[in-house]
Structure 1
Amino acid sequence: MLSHRRSPTSDHHHSAHHAHGAHHLFHGVLLSAAMPRFSFLLTVYTQKPILSTPFCNFSKRKIHFVKSIAICGIFCYTVRVHNRKDNRSMRMRKKKHGAERIAACRELLIDTPTLPAPDPQTYFPVPRPLSLEIGCGKGDFAVGMAAANPDQNWIAMERVSDVACLALEKAMAAKDTRPDNLRFLIGDARNLADWFPAHCVDTLYLNFSDPWPKAGHARRRLTHPDFLALYRRLLKQGGLLRLKTDNEGLFDYSLEQFALCGLPVEWMTRDLHHSERAADNIMTEYERNFSEKGQVIYSAWVRFPKEGL
């Protein structure tokens, strides 16, 4: 069963669940105060009609009834407003002059590709094996991997433009100290088939994707069979998918889907930072925070066979 603790889809989603305990306490206090009123309303509707009582009792009961309605309404409104504020705080604030800041990094940004999808190697000065990160967050991983692997070209994809703005600026600040092998694409992973030709990616990275814990949201998970079929089209035959997450539920779900789709797991660990690959691991910004708090990181490398799914 998937945990309801969210991971970033890209990393910026991940802070959402850390405040849930305080939210539940707040709602519990409000509910405790309002519960007697709810009980009274239930009693009113299950007993004899109000008009059958004496006038004096009717007046008192009517006043109590109206007060109960008002208190219950205030309770519902307060919870709704509180949740709305919480949701706003979980999202990244709108960046001032975001469009201008992104435009200043235009040399690293891929315009939304047109149909038919162009060869992604045309975005780089030198053709090299291509790696694609879906949900790059603030760009720590993409910038670090591009610098550590100058023999590869990298495309970092991010759906939220304000988050992509930070990643672009981070890459621009380091562009004079690394090879020209990193580009960014702002868009949704569901459009990958329109933006990339078939079998053009060597390695695909999913780092701390949103686990979408509700069963009704399973199709949104980036390891759902629909996405795995998309990756099969995108990756070269024998291409590699590398997954990292702090969410055990998403990790177990992903392993199940890999098995159902006939995708062999080449390597996996339930504690990446204490594994044999820890020394070569490039951390994302949130991964670094998780590590400092002792949170284990799950990882799997999955090979897409040449014969297909």
Structure 2
Amino acid sequence: MRLRKKPGATDKINAHPTIVIPQPEQYRGRWEEAFSDQTKKPLHVEFGTGKGQFLRDMSDIYPDVHYIGVELYESVLVTALEKNINHEGKVAFILGNVADAKDYFKEGEIDRIYLNFMDPWPKNRHAKRRLTHANFLEIYKQLLPKDGEIHLKTDNEGLFEFSLQSFSENGFQLKTVSVNLHRDEPEDNVRTEYEEKFSSKGQPIFRTEAYIPQ
């Protein structure tokens, strides 16, 4: 899908270097320095962060966690920035590629990874682009500590089945599996923009938590 460029997106992003970090490599291994409290806290990262609602709401509910969103597309990230202007120092973003995550984060530095409504890349020839492909899982395994978790949500059943199998084949264990999250929605579930959109149309939401066993 070709994304439409947003006029002025680059200038707006560049104007907020404490929210969208211009050189994320400089914080590798010391991300607490990028946040206003300068305090060591659990680090949770959303890969493919989208429009920023999820991290905004999570940072309000769980202030004892540092949140970072990684997004490839500037035209999407500028919306996340706009939604988090008032969350400066609580949420940070990286304009970058998930494939380069080891440049941004040190081994074992991320306590939890979120994969919310990622592009399903439904054609088999594009399977390596899915963020739960074995190649990406190997990156996550290096960035997570033992017992570190990946929380995944999607509306795409094929991607969900692919992801469950990929987790199981690549050293992760499944903690929870839901094939209709909103049927008995947990009180602590924080919805993304896409989640609200798909749920309003009656589309079931699939969710799992995977972790690296000790």
What is the TM-score with the length of structure 2 in the denominator? 0.93
Correspondences of 1:208-287 after superposition (within 5 Å)? 208-275=117-184, 277=186, 279-287=187-195
Matches of 1:287 and 1:295, distance apart in 2:
9
Corresponding residue for 1:187? 96
Query: Can you list the C-alpha shifts for 1:255-297, whole angstroms capped at 9, x where unaligned?
Result: 11111123110011001112352x2111111211111111100
The match for 2:11 among 78, 81, 100 is 100
Does the CA contact (< 8 Å) of 2:109 and 2:144 recur in 1? yes
The structure in which a higher percent of residues are helix is 1
Corresponding residue for 2:47? 134
1:115 offset after TM fit, Å?
Answer: 7.2
Distance 1:304 1:246, change over 3 A: same
The match for 2:109 among 180, 184, 200 is 200
Corresponding residue for 1:288? 196
1:116 offset after TM fit, Å?
Answer: 9.1
The match for 2:68 among 142, 155, 167 is 155
RMSD between aligned residues: 1.7
1:118 offset after TM fit, Å?
Answer: 4.0
Does the CA contact (< 8 Å) of 1:269 and 1:299 recur in 2? yes
Matched, 1:175 2:81: no
Corresponding residue for 2:58? 145
Letter in 1 for 2:193: E
Query: Can you list the C-alpha shifts for 1:171-203, whole angstroms capped at 9, x where unaligned?
Result: 00x338xxx321010100000011111000111
Matches of 2:160 and 2:143, distance apart in 1:
22
1:92 offset after TM fit, Å?
Answer: 3.6
Matches of 1:259 and 1:122, distance apart in 2:
35
Larger gyration radius, structure 1 or structure 2: 1
Distance 1:281 1:116, change over 3 A: closer
Correspondences of 1:13-24 after superposition (within 5 Å)? none
Does the CA contact (< 8 Å) of 2:25 and 2:105 recur in 1? no
**SS at structure 2 position matched to 1:216:** helix
Corresponding residue for 1:112? 23
Correspondences of 1:21-36 after superposition (within 5 Å)? none
Gaps of 5+ in 2: none
Query: Can you list the C-alpha shifts for 1:119-174, whole angstroms capped at 9, x where unaligned?
Result: 222212222100000011110111111111101000011100111011011100x3
Letter in 1 for 2:5: K
Matches of 2:20 and 2:27, distance apart in 1:
19
Matches of 2:58 and 2:204, distance apart in 1:
21
Does the CA contact (< 8 Å) of 1:266 and 1:301 recur in 2? yes
Identity of matched residues, %: 40
Corresponding residue for 1:36? none
Does the CA contact (< 8 Å) of 1:116 and 1:194 recur in 2? no
Matches of 2:180 and 2:165, distance apart in 1:
19
Matches of 2:27 and 2:53, distance apart in 1:
31
Does the CA contact (< 8 Å) of 1:112 and 1:186 recur in 2? no
